[in-house]
Amino acid sequence: NKKIILADKSGFCFGVKRAVDITVDQKKSADAKLYTLGPLIHNNDVIHRLKEKGIDQIDEDDLETLEPKDTIIIRSHGVTLNVIGNIEKSGSKMVNATCPFVTKIQKIAEKYHDLGYQIIIVGDENHPEVVGINGWCNNSAIITKDGSNLSDLPAKVCVVAQTTERLFNFEKVVDIVSKKCEEVLTFNTICSATKERQESADEVSKQVDLMIVIGGKHSSNSKKLFDICRTNCENTIFIENSLELPTEAFDKEDVKTIGITAGASTPDWIIQDVIEKIK
């Protein structure tokens, strides 16, 4: 009789849940071939289920192979204006499942770029969300992680953040540009879902003998949760689903309390599956 504590903020965030729901709904209402532009979320089990339902992936480079009868879904990270243009050219139906919080950043980038501001994005230059946002200001944004690459800035700048960025980095960049530029507009566009999951994982991992983080191998927010839990509980493991549960980890006498958290791209059914298997 071991105790299991599930972090109250864990699993799908609002934007990812919305994107998955939109995709599944589309499949119900259309016989058309359905594609997601890139993997819908960073979770192999979900991708596998979608595939079984006949929902495939397509890459940006292959957009010209789309046919007018096809439907294409834009995932929660969003895309550049250019990609939207390419989809429109193909004549196929576009369903935009970009998270509304990301859309908001795209609109800020577009508006202030048009008003003559240099857009600065605090985030990871290779992340699809950042690549997408940059595409709304003519790919002219300066992308920075910590402000170290910011020299020769124009007088007017507008700073936004990748939704999953750490507040510390955003504040650091704002501080640097405030000293260098005459006019600085800042929009703290960090999404609270990330912070809430991290705080919740932090709290639970302090109380347990074994901490389990469930997430896709390529999910950066899940890896971050793992790092946080690991600092509180040495006995922290990272798994993708219940199949990866090492049963010997529970057999130990001294494991009395088990904590569980999951990244924003982990669906409820995987979390429940893990809990069931532990029980």
- Of 6, 7, 13, 174, the one binding ligand F3S (CB under 6 A) is 13
106 binds ligand F3S per the rule CB under 6 A: no
For this structure, is 203 an active site residue? Answer: no
Q: Is residue 108 within 8 Å of 88, Cβ to Cβ?
A: no
Beta bridge partners of 143: 121
The C-alpha atoms of residue 85 and residue 66 are separated, in whole angstroms, by 13
The C-alpha atoms of residue 279 and residue 1 are separated, in whole angstroms, by 9
- Of 37, 83, 99, 160, the one binding ligand F3S (CB under 6 A) is 99
219 binds ligand F3S per the rule CB under 6 A: no
CB-facing half-sphere around the CA of 7: CA atoms within 13 A: 30
Between CA 92 and CA 96, with CA 93 as vertex, the angle to 5 degrees is 130
Nearer to ligand F3S, 9 or 113 (CB): 9
Q: Is residue 230 within 8 Å of 183, Cβ to Cβ?
A: no
- Using DSSP's 3-state secondary structure scheme, residue 65 falls into helix
222 binds ligand F3S per the rule CB under 6 A: no
CB of 191 to ligand F3S, least distance (A): 3
- Of 14, 94, 150, 237, the one binding ligand F3S (CB under 6 A) is 14
Tokens read off for 220: 């950066």
Using the rule CB under 6 A, give the single segment among 8-16, 62-70, 83-91, 172-180 that binds ligand F3S: 8-16
79 binds ligand F3S per the rule CB under 6 A: no
Query: Where does this chain bind ligand F3S (CB under 6 A)?
Result: 13-16, 76, 99, 101-102, 163, 191, 193-194, 264
Binding residues for isopentenyl diphosphate: 42, 77, 127, 219-221, 265
